Amino acid sequence: MGILGFGLVDLLLLQSNDALAHTDPDPPDDLDPHAAWKRDYEEAAGPDLRGEVPTYPAYLKVPPKIHGRAAWKAKPPRRPAKILGRAPDHIVVHHTDSPNTSDRSLAHAYDLSRSIQRFHMQGRGWDDAGQQLTISRGGHIMEGRNRSLAAILAGQHVVGAQALHHNDHTIGIENEGNYTKSKVPPPLWDALVDTCVWLCAVYRLDPTKAIVGHRDLVDTDCPGNLLYAKLPTLRRTVSTRLTTPRKPAQKPKPKPKSKPKPPSTTNPKPRS
């Protein structure tokens, strides 16, 4: 995250393998040494990611609570992000490699988003924040790169700067913290599951194939050993959520009708 004028989170992010493994923008395919890898993967992945794709119920496409860029007071990008008229084929899980703060507040989450954007724009010279989505340790989900939320809702893809040579076909989620030796806090985990369910539903992705760690694509330690070890659980949990029918809402039981009161058996007092 830069050394001059940045905070502790900025500095630690600058030093992380995760941040240094990003770039903006990607070269075109004819200059991209990984273009052949991407084609080979698409061939090996089978029909789920090419043509025959899963279909999920419409209610799963409703997004979780996401705080847009206006909420965390994002700076304007140098130029609008590029939108591709197709879905990404992978969801890349990152960690920010920043301190495992105990601050779960929304105010801290907003500060985190501003800090990441500040480093990416001032420290790295990028157009904007590199990741499409950010999740704080308190479980707050925030829009990252400009136009990301609108593109996702339209089933399209904003090209980010979060996975070297794979930005044109992957969407990235930055998870606050360092998970090399520390466990993922439950609020963050729950938000990550919700986010992946939503993305898979919108983009019609098979989570068992689509959810990957940053280290699966780039030479990096990201997203940390413990978070990476939980990716199989993440895939299974998301898959279960996507394929388990929603229980129908139970109709409220009608209130039992009150029995009429029996007529009074006492004689009324005679009038004087």
81, 147 in Cβ contact below 8 A? yes
Q: What are phi and psi of 16, to 5 degrees?
A: -80, 150
pLDDT of residue 53: 79
DSSP 150-205: HHHHTT-EE--SSSTT-TTTEEEEEESS--SSSPPPHHHHHHHHHHHHHHHHHHT-
Amino acid at 198: W
In angstroms, rounded to a whole number, what is the distance separating the alpha carbons of residues 40 and 43?
5
| Three-class SS state of 261 | coil
pLDDT of residue 34: 42
187, 172 in Cβ contact below 8 A? no
Q: Longest C-alpha distance within the chain, in Å?
A: 112
End-to-end CA distance of the chain: 97
174, 134 in Cβ contact below 8 A? yes
In angstroms, rounded to a whole number, what is the distance separating the alpha carbons of residues 229 and 227?
5
Of 221, 96, 68, nearest to 153 by C-alpha is 68
pLDDT of residue 51: 53
pLDDT of residue 254: 75
In angstroms, rounded to a whole number, what is the distance separating the alpha carbons of residues 6 and 33?
34
Q: What are phi and psi of 157, to 5 degrees?
A: -130, 125
Q: What is the mean pLDDT of each run of 10 residues along the chain (272 residues)?
A: 36 42 44 43 42 86 98 98 97 97 98 97 96 98 98 97 96 98 98 98 97 97 98 98 83 72 62 56
CA distances from 94 to 132, 223, 246 (A): 11, 5, 30
pLDDT of residue 13: 43
pLDDT of residue 2: 30
CA distances from 223 to 184, 195, 199, 252, 263 (A): 11, 17, 19, 45, 76
pLDDT of residue 16: 43
In angstroms, rounded to a whole number, what is the distance separating the alpha carbons of residues 212 and 91?
6
pLDDT of residue 247: 77
**Ramachandran bin of 191, using left for φ above 0, alpha for ψ from -120 to 50, beta for the remaining angles:** alpha
pLDDT of residue 271: 60
